[in-house]
Amino acid sequence: MPTSTRRVLLQTTILPNKDDWHIGRFDLLRAHLASLRGEHGAPLYEVIARNRATPAGQADPVLASLDTSDFDELWLFAVDTGDGLTEAECGAIGRFRERGGGLLVTRDHEDLGSSLCRLGGVGKAHHFHSRNQPADVSRQRRDDPFTKDIDWPNYHSGRNGDFQVVSAVDPVHPLLDAIRWFPAHPHEGEVDAPPDEPARVIARGRSKATGRDFNLVVAFEAGPEGRPGRGVAHSTFHHFCDYNWDLSKGCPSFVDEPPGDGLQREPAARRAIETYVSNLAAWLAPTSEPS
């Protein structure tokens, strides 16, 4: 675990919008990270949670200067429809990781979050319907048959409010030690390890609609002396969203799939994602100080 308080930025790629996946819908994640304490009771993480402050095409002042900030980790929730990151922001995020910063990057189905295609490194792990399509053409087809207006990639791991079984890929990564479950979602996105990066798939799920396996998590190892920093790509931001941890927190009005109650009935599944988040924050923490 980190020996001093680390600064973590939780960031969406959209302007504040109460009827969307704004940063307030990740408040249980924020609260959990902020609650973690070290050996002597000091907080392990100072957590800043924010949305974009500028419209699409205009550089956000925090993201565009991330490489010169004192943040240690960026947890980026790409909830846009393709225009959520500028070239300047992507450049700063890349330099942030090059100096040792830890990076979690996640998105959702079809083209949701496809602004990540502007982001090198961890961004290359994300495949979309219209951009950076999966090389395996057999993956370019619908999986979830229930939500008709969402196209591939849309892996059906279960209902919002339920949980899915996580299959760790050998050798089991430290992030997944004793982790058996993630929150479920009706239409997860597509991630894979880029062949030209020090990365590998570490967790897979299985579709409850087709029985097909799909990738849940890709881990990027740090280079010499901890640079570039570690990175993680997730198939959906719903693994971290309030609604998928606790249905009572609500969701945007456009979500119309019937929810489940698996997490409510099985508290151990909720504890599993909280444990994973704790593991993730510790693993992403820089292993050396920036020069």
Neighbouring CB atoms inside 10 A of 48's CB total 15
What dotted CATH number matches 6-284?
3.40.50.880
pLDDT tens digits along 145-179: 999 999 999 999 999 999 999 999 999 999 999 99
Structure tokens at 167: 């299959």
pLDDT tens digits along 9-66: 999 999 999 999 999 999 999 999 999 999 889 999 999 999 999 999 999 999 999 9
Residue 20: which residues within 8 A CB-CB, separation 6 or more? Answer: 14, 79, 252
The predicted pLDDT at position 2 comes to 45
- Nearest by Cα to 75 from 106, 118, 99: 106
Name the residue ranges covered by the structural domains of the chain.
6-284
What is the DSSP secondary structure assignment for residue 108, as one 8-state letter? -
pLDDT tens digits along 265-291: 999 999 999 999 999 999 999 986 544
Please state at what angle helix 27-35 crosses helix 267-284, rounded to 10 degrees. Answer: 70
Residue type, 230: R
The predicted pLDDT at position 3 comes to 53
Instruction: Identify whether the C-beta of residue 60 lies closer than 8 Å to the C-beta of residue 52.
Output: yes
The predicted pLDDT at position 289 comes to 57
C-alpha 147/C-alpha 70 separation (Å) is: 42
C-alpha 143/C-alpha 66 separation (Å) is: 37
- Given 3-state DSSP classes, what are the helix, strand and coil percentages for the chain, each rounded to the nearest 5? 30, 20, 50
